Structure 1
């Protein structure tokens, strides 16, 4: 990308929102034990370190292989013969440093692709059906931003469930001020409101 690249402002916007989600995902890991970083907190096994592993794999695929720029990183968990959901959790032998390091390398590789190619560059997603495998870089980056932001939201909820920590990113919590008592009363108010709404709905359905 050069200083005269007319798509530079669009690339800057895309990268800004991608980087904010990347940073959030890693920030949500800070200060956690190995167990809490990996423990499944939903019935489908969603966990913080697994979200990072998945996000790294997505970037290396959509913003690497898709545009003929393989990273060289071995990703056996996304191979055709891998077990289902293998990219969504880290094995005991895959350390936190390994997963975080992989993610940092994925950032660098994806950012290099974004810098090197025009947004209208057409690539092919290797794992999509051949009749619709072609995508532009603009489409691919937008898809990765959406995916990463979605998982950053998952991470917000997982971390709050673990230890009550909340916040949009480091240094900016983006929530109203309030002590523990304020939040307890706020939650109780929402609970009462939900029950009231259910009662009204049930009454309206009654013959």
Structure 2
């Protein structure tokens, strides 16, 4: 496999996570894309904003390829977790557009930098750590898919939408009755395994 083939393979998985994440915010109200649905505040637009940050850090800053737009949550005095939620003044269009531009910037880095090019990642350990582009991409793909998984759960909590996109043919059923029965089956198995009375 050539370096170009390997890069294309890695980019395929990165782009797959990006597309799944963007689909999770489609068709929802401003409230639903922003509302916190876990005790730690996980929300859909915040996940997009966070992954914008992640792509710009790993495929921008560490390779000395800074993004040309100012992001207030990159300031040293920024509020903690400010990249994990969108303020009322940060429109959905702004966050999604920024994510797409950050992805384009990241893709340009992937094209320009060899897979064995070493970078220094200061937030990896007390003294930082070195990694090559192949390692950075592997880490980034894992992180993007992890957060796309968070978005899966958050979107399901909002309106029961599931899958990687609107035509995901790996979903066992689109019938709400089937899912209700399946849910009951799992609840009964869990209760039985714990010695609780089956309802």
Length-normalised TM-score, structure 2: 0.93
Gaps of 5+ in 1: 201-207
How large is the Cα RMSD of the aligned pairs? Answer: 1.6
Residue 116 of structure 1 is matched in structure 2 by 112
Shift of 1:143: 1.2
- For each residue in 1:67-88, what CA deviation from the matched residue of structure 2 results, as whole angstroms up to 9, or x when unmatched? 0111122122133221111110
**2:12 pairs with one of 16, 27, 36:** 16
**1:132 pairs with one of 110, 128, 131:** 128
Q: State whether structure 2 residue 30 is matched by structure 1 residue 29.
A: no
Flag as ranges the 4+ runs of structure 1 deviating above 6 A. Answer: none
Q: State whether structure 2 residue 185 is matched by structure 1 residue 185.
A: no
Q: State whether structure 2 residue 61 is matched by structure 1 residue 103.
A: no
- The 3 A distance-change label for structure 1 pair 199 and 19 is same
Residue 3 of structure 2 is matched in structure 1 by 7
Gaps of 5+ in 2: none
Contact 1:65 1:126 in 2 (8 A): no
- Any idea what SS the aligned residue of 2:79 has? coil
Query: What are the equivalent positions in structure 2 for 1:18-167 lying under 5 Å apart?
Result: 18-128=14-124, 131-167=127-163
Length-normalised TM-score, structure 1: 0.89
Number of matched residues?
196
